């Protein structure tokens, strides 16, 4: 079985500052990794995904994430955040060959002016 840990439930940051949202996973098989964003009162939108190949993945809105197999991590980063990045961010994992997505508990990013 797979599991995902997002240790930070909330991350406050000032506008234009860099941010890193942490995600660690556990799995006995190979996995695909995803980051989803949920803006207030909206559904989930895919930010980026790692399936194979380059471990540095670039997504929408200037976000990127790096897959680190040895540390079983998939941290999300952005060099300079905007007020509009305020949202909840979910890391998710899916075992290769299966469709089921397992989500972390989410990290709320609060960007202040």
Residues in the site for another protein, rule: CB under 8 A?
4, 6, 9, 32, 34, 36, 42-46, 49, 51, 90, 92, 96-106
Q: Which is nearer to another protein, 1 or 113 (CB)?
A: 1
- Give min distance, CB of 55 to another protein, in A: 17
Residue 62's SS3 state is: helix
Integer Cα distance of 36 and 106 in angstroms: 9
Q: Which is nearer to another protein, 97 or 113 (CB)?
A: 97
- Give min distance, CB of 97 to another protein, in A: 6
For 41, residues 6+ apart whose C-beta sits below 8 A from its C-beta are none
Q: Which is nearer to another protein, 78 or 90 (CB)?
A: 90
Integer Cα distance of 41 and 38 in angstroms: 8
Integer Cα distance of 90 and 92 in angstroms: 6
Which H or E run contains 46? strand 44-50
- Give min distance, CB of 101 to another protein, in A: 6
Q: Which is nearer to another protein, 59 or 64 (CB)?
A: 59
């Amino acid at each position: 079985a797979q599991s995902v840990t997002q240790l930070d439930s909330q991350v406050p940051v000032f506008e234009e500052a860099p941010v890193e949202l942490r995600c660690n996973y556990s799995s006995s098989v190979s996995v695909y990794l995803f980051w989803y964003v949920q803006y207030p009162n909206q559904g989930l939108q895919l930010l980026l995904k790692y399936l194979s190949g380059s471990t540095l993945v670039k997504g929408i809105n200037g976000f990127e994430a790096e897959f680190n197999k040895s540390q079983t991590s998939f941290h999300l980063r952005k060099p300079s955040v905007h007020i509009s990045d305020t949202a909840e961010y979910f890391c998710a994992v899916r075992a290769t060959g299966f469709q089921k997505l397992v989500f972390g508990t989410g990290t709320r990013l609060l960007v202040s002016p």
